[in-house]
């Protein structure tokens, strides 16, 4: 598959690059970022996908999370996709930061017109990994997934929906029960229609109750997060994991909000969590 290199930058002995590919799943070009650690010059390395949140792009985590230093130490490749297709021309796809472009929710839409372009699950789970395997020294047998907010929702649901693909999973301030909160209800109603059984297939609480993972999940949440009570509600996931016997470490942090200062404060713990799970 054709890959266009947009830019590459030396970073902690490795390379931070930004790329563009033609996406059949999303019906047009899709951008993504890859950090290649220095170990990738000699051998294939484990790969960690970082899914960003609402309004973000493939550049956001690469520039603001501060993950490259520890990823270079641990020999982790980082892959950071965009959060949706762009320049779709769909009415309603722009102008609302909670929906549409910049807010793909890491699912495959079933409702027109979104179903023709907003197929982020297919892109992230199947299409992008194929490109990464072809063009980068990634070990496909050692793949993990993490994310923030909407991307935390994506990390949890994709890991639960595709347990054979991801050997490790974590999330920072994730949306865990999208069926129950305004962000999720807005997105699911438009992308998936009024089919609540389908909604449950993209809800981490519902998924973990039915098919828990045989591996631990790490979640961090700031207690000064302005979205904590209305949109995130981590206690719902905590209860669902307890019911299902799912191993969960949920850490709550006083004084931390929803933004990238919070992510930068705890990203090292997440990288080490994944490195341990992805070790040979």
Return the active site residues.
Answer: 149, 225, 258
Contact 165, 141 (CB under 8 A): no
d(CA 79, CA 128): 9
d(CA 128, CA 212): 25
Three-state secondary structure readout of 231-242? HHCHHHHHHHHH
Question: Where are any strands of DSSP class E within 71-182?
Answer: 77-81, 138-147, 168-172
Strand pairing of 3-11 and 14-23?
antiparallel
Nearest residue to 218 via CA among 246, 259, 256: 246
d(CA 30, CA 42): 28
Say how many residues make up the chain. 280
In what side-by-side order are the strands of the sheet with 3-11? 3-11, 14-23, 28-36, 77-81, 45-51, 138-147, 168-172, 217-222, 248-253
């Amino acid at each position: 598959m054709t890959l266009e290199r947009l830019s590459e930058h030396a970073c902690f002995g490795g390379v931070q690059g930004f790329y563009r590919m033609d996406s059949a799943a999303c019906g047009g070009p899709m951008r993504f970022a890859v950090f290649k650690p220095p170990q990738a010059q000699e051998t294939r390395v484990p790969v960690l996908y970082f899914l960003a949140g609402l309004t973000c792009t493939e550049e956001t985590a690469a520039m603001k999370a501060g993950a490259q230093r520890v990823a270079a130490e641990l020999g982790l490749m980082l892959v950071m996709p965009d959060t949706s297709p762009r320049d779709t021309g769909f009415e309603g796809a722009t102008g609302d930061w909670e929906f549409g472009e910049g807010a793909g929710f890491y699912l495959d839409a079933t409702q027109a017109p979104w179903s023709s372009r907003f197929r982020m699950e297919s892109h992230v789970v199947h299409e992008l990994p194929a490109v990464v395997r072809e063009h980068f020294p990634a070990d496909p047998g050692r793949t993990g997934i993490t994310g923030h907010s909407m991307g935390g929702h994506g990390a949890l649901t994709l890991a639960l929906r595709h347990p054979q693909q991801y050997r490790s999973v974590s999330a920072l301030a994730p949306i865990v029960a999208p069926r129950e909160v305004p962000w999720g209800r807005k997105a699911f109603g438009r992308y998936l229609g009024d089919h609540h059984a389908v909604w449950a297939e993209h809800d981490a609480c519902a998924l973990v109750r039915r098919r828990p993972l045989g591996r631990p999940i790490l979640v961090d949440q700031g207690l000064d997060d302005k979205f904590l009570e209305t949109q995130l509600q981590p206690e719902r996931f905590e209860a669902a994991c307890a019911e299902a016997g799912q191993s969960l470490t949920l850490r709550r942090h006083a004084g931390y909000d929803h933004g990238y200062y919070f992510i930068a404060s705890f990203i090292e713990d997440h990288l080490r969590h994944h490195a341990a799970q992805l070790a040979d």
